[in-house]
Structure 1
Amino acid sequence: MPTHTRVLGTSDLENSQDGTTIYTGSATPNTLAASSVSEFTPLLPQKHGDNRPKHTLSAYKAEAWVLTRYAVPIFGTQILEYSLMMASVISIGHISTEALAASALGSMTAAVSGLSIIHGFASALDSLLPQAWTSERPQNVGLWTQRMVVLISLIIIPILGIWLNAEKILLQLRQEPAIAHLAGVYLRWFSLSLPGQALNIILRRFYQAQGLVHIPTAIMVVIAPINALLCWLLVWGPRPLNIGFIGAPIASAISFNLMAVILSVYARWFIPSTAFHPINRQCFREIGRLFRLGLSGVGQIASEWWSWEFVALAASQLGPIPLAAQSVMLVSSSTAFQTPYSLGMATTVRVGNLLGSGHAQAAKLAAETAIGMSLAVAIILRYSTSNSKIMFLF
């Protein structure tokens, strides 16, 4: 029986992109029988086990150092900004117990009805801006920031309505008339700080997405002592400047608005314009999408903030002294909270930048490292916040 031989021609061969040659012609049954290839032979080489790169201890250490460099400036910004509120509470606390209770009730109302909402919607930028910065269109960082400014500008309108009518609302919640009146006065003057606070919350994320986390911290280093000086002058200073109880919220309003102006000027003229986007009609688009993204952040942040503030509302039913004690506890715990919050913000920026540049495994490494660091932070805070001498500051 003659043996048939098949010669491969050019029509039977095809070069793949990686340089390998693929046989595309048809073979006779005798040719297939003579070869080791059958219909059971896999087309692709089999992978045994997980070939993904394993993260070493040195990789975790290096990532922990990167996250620390991100988190420390954010922590500095957060703690210095919160010092604006602490200076107000401490200065009012030395006036009277009723004044401290009223400022605590006013701060609680501001947090529940306004600041938590603004923080929640602004958290949508935590995922949008880092990915935009590492994409092919980094100017979208500025565009999304402008859109958030438009959205928050609409949101603060009903917030201002609540703050300006806070006394009536608190009386409906069966607060003591004297405390409700002082809290209403506090909020009316504190409402002057709302535009500045909203812009600060947004612009911090604008800087963080670009890795410029040190700039808000440096500005806060300047603003914090100015605020402390204003609190002293307006609450305890010489008679022409001493206006008592309302001096604290006025000092906060001046400080927050001054910080917003400096952040805006610095962003426009003193950093590279890579993320800058000209102001045009595009900033009014995608507002609905941004609103939907922000709602999830509102649900997360508001549920966390409100759980604290409703305890203060319950304490207010017991009288001014329990409410004042609750305000001291709330300020102390909120100060301690800035450490894990800063780590979370740093992780969000780091993971967002890595995902935006297509480094999924590095993003996973950053997330795993952050979990370990958060456990270490929790242990440290557990033993460092049990010192009762801190309470004598108030």
Structure 2
Amino acid sequence: MESNFDELHQPILTHDHPPPPELNSSLEEMLSNTQLPLLKRLLSATWIELNLLFPLATPAILVYLINNSMSTVTRAFAGHLGNLQLAAANLGNSGIQLFASGLMLGMGSAVETLCGQAYGANKYEMLGIYMQRATIVLTITAIPLTIVYIFCKPILLLIGESEPLASSAATYVYGLIPQIFAYAVNFPIQKFLQAQSIVRPSTYISVATLVLHVLLSWVAVFKLGLGLIGSSLVLSFCWWVIVVAQFVYIVKSRKCERTWNGFSVEAFYKLWDFVKLSSASAVMLCLEIWYFQVLVLITGLLDNPELALDSVAVCMTIAGLLLQIGVGFNAAASVRVSNELGSGNPKAAAFSVVIVNMVSFIIAVIEAIVVLALRHVISYVFTEGETVANAVSDLCPYLAVTLILNGIQPVLSGVAVGCGWQAIVAYINVGCYYGVGVPVGCVLGFKFNLGVKGIWSGMIGGTVLQTLILLWITFRTDWIKEVNTAKKRLDKWEN
């Protein structure tokens, strides 16, 4: 990385619990201490960074896994109602809910940049204002999304779904309308807490809510006979439980007393500027979330697609589950980089990027090795069919490559969020994913008759290209310049 840092900066701030004594000196000071031998300096800095990284990443991974599991549990209960209900819940989740959650999470990541850098710069009072601004913008965004939910049946019919399936999916989706507004509040709250490295309370709340969710789903579906609408309403209710519990924590906890000063009229200032920043974030994240959904849609266009769709569905389920680890490191990378930039610590920001990428990559390689070792039996977790198992086994090498990429790409996206590069990454995603990956995949899959392997190969190629570009941008980054950019950004957004 192109960096020349001679100044010493203030130490980074503490997290949920005070760090061990050896962490009391800042990472920037350790990296700048030329009196120590280089190897000892790097080893000590790595120890400091790991002790800051894992308390952030581990709870974040658990939160994303648990929140993802709530949707899975809801669909599992729907499956007990019948095959049509299961298909309807899956369609409502993949076709409608995923669109809304991706958009809202993407827009919410704008506050991640601002809160993380403001916290590092000791501008604590601005975190609460940024959170409120994000909530206002996301709540307004939820209104047109609600209209999409209301008219989802004709939309599904328009894209060729059958009348019974579209009707059942619409019933399921109607119960998810309150969830949209829960997203609008939850994602800013989540980023507000993560920026301060307060992550454990969200984990405890999510675990408790998951237990409640299973219990209420059982009551709604089996005892009260509320069917699809009951299962989705329970999911919406539980998301609101998470929102309320987290907000109560913010108001009552002493850890947030510097960053939450109550509701403020300043939250309504500069909303249009926030909309523009949020839009870039939304485009960046949505293009990533939707990318491999396109793989499933294109696979459905193959001749006799049933077996291909079944095997791809199993692989995408595994990839989606393990992706939550990458997403957890994405959040940790964003917090670490934004905090250090806000604190004026360019060396520490650059070093954090290196360490979090190395750790996430090593874990991703281990995941890929395990998947390849279990390639002949892994599908039996989802289905008993031997034909599907053989098809999944054939696709596992592609899944393994995807898992390795998922260990790098989300982390680089987290670095981009921490630095405020959302607009740049959005353009890169459009070009690499949809200008290269999808067309090449279609050519390989249909023109060269490689089927789902060809489609997946093309899309892997798009991800590789995007990852290489992000690596190059990150490697060439002038971190002193990024510190100055963060300072200007905070000065612009303050009040």
2:289 alignment partner AA: W
> Would you tell me which structure has more helix in proportion to its own residues?
2
1:264 alignment partner AA: F
Asked if 1 retains the 8 angstrom alpha-carbon contact of 2:46 and 2:355, the reply is: yes
1:329-340 counterparts in 2 under 5 A? Answer: 329-340=315-326
Flag the structure with larger Rg. Answer: 1
Asked if 2 retains the 8 angstrom alpha-carbon contact of 1:117 and 1:302, the reply is: yes
TM-score, with structure 2 as normaliser: 0.64
Q: Which is further off, 345-354 or 86-95?
A: 86-95
CA RMSD across the alignment: 2.4
1:310 Cα offset (Å): 3.1
1:127 Cα offset (Å): 1.2
* Residue number among 103, 107, 110 corresponding to 2:93 in the alignment: 107
Asked if 2 retains the 8 angstrom alpha-carbon contact of 1:340 and 1:377, the reply is: no
What residue is the counterpart of 1:293 in the other structure? 277
Asked if 2 retains the 8 angstrom alpha-carbon contact of 1:113 and 1:159, the reply is: no
What residue is the counterpart of 2:243 in the other structure? 260
SS in structure 2 at match of 1:192: helix
1:327 Cα offset (Å): 5.2
What residue is the counterpart of 1:155 in the other structure? 141
Deviations 1:216-255 (A, max 9, x none): 01111110111111222222x33xx232233321220111
Sequence identity (%)? 22
Structure 2 CA distance for partners of 1:174 and 1:314, relative to 1, 3 Å? farther
Measured in 1, the distance between the counterparts of 2:298 and 2:157 equals: 14
What residue is the counterpart of 1:360 in the other structure? 346
Q: Tell me the number of residue pairs that the alignment of Structure 1 and Structure 2 aligns.
A: 341
Measured in 1, the distance between the counterparts of 2:218 and 2:239 equals: 17
What residue is the counterpart of 1:376 in the other structure? 362
Deviations 1:134-188 (A, max 9, x none): 3242110000000001100110000000011100001111112211111111111
1:254 alignment partner AA: F
What residue is the counterpart of 1:129 in the other structure? 115
* Residue number among 41, 60, 70 corresponding to 1:84 in the alignment: 70
Measured in 2, the distance between the counterparts of 1:245 and 1:322 equals: 28
Asked if 2 retains the 8 angstrom alpha-carbon contact of 1:100 and 1:324, the reply is: no
What residue is the counterpart of 2:381 in the other structure? 392
Structure 2 CA distance for partners of 1:320 and 1:221, relative to 1, 3 Å? same
Answer yes or no: is 1:275 the counterpart of 2:262.
no
SS in structure 1 at match of 2:81: coil
2:292 alignment partner AA: W
Asked if 2 retains the 8 angstrom alpha-carbon contact of 1:190 and 1:253, the reply is: yes
Asked if 1 retains the 8 angstrom alpha-carbon contact of 2:132 and 2:267, the reply is: yes
Higher relative contact order (CA 8 A, sep 6+): 1
SS in structure 1 at match of 2:175: helix
1:329 Cα offset (Å): 4.5
What residue is the counterpart of 1:345 in the other structure? 331
Asked if 2 retains the 8 angstrom alpha-carbon contact of 1:140 and 1:277, the reply is: no
1:244 alignment partner AA: G
SS in structure 2 at match of 1:275: coil
1:315 Cα offset (Å): 5.8
Answer yes or no: is 1:309 the counterpart of 2:293.
yes
Asked if 1 retains the 8 angstrom alpha-carbon contact of 2:106 and 2:282, the reply is: yes
TM-score, with structure 1 as normaliser: 0.80
Asked if 1 retains the 8 angstrom alpha-carbon contact of 2:75 and 2:89, the reply is: yes
Measured in 1, the distance between the counterparts of 2:381 and 2:350 equals: 44
* Residue number among 196, 205, 224 corresponding to 2:210 in the alignment: 224
Asked if 1 retains the 8 angstrom alpha-carbon contact of 2:78 and 2:89, the reply is: yes
Measured in 1, the distance between the counterparts of 2:246 and 2:233 equals: 20
Asked if 2 retains the 8 angstrom alpha-carbon contact of 1:142 and 1:276, the reply is: yes
Structure 2 CA distance for partners of 1:218 and 1:193, relative to 1, 3 Å? same
Measured in 2, the distance between the counterparts of 1:384 and 1:97 equals: 32
Structure 2 CA distance for partners of 1:324 and 1:270, relative to 1, 3 Å? farther
Deviations 1:342-379 (A, max 9, x none): 01110110111111111111111111101111211211
Asked if 1 retains the 8 angstrom alpha-carbon contact of 2:139 and 2:185, the reply is: no
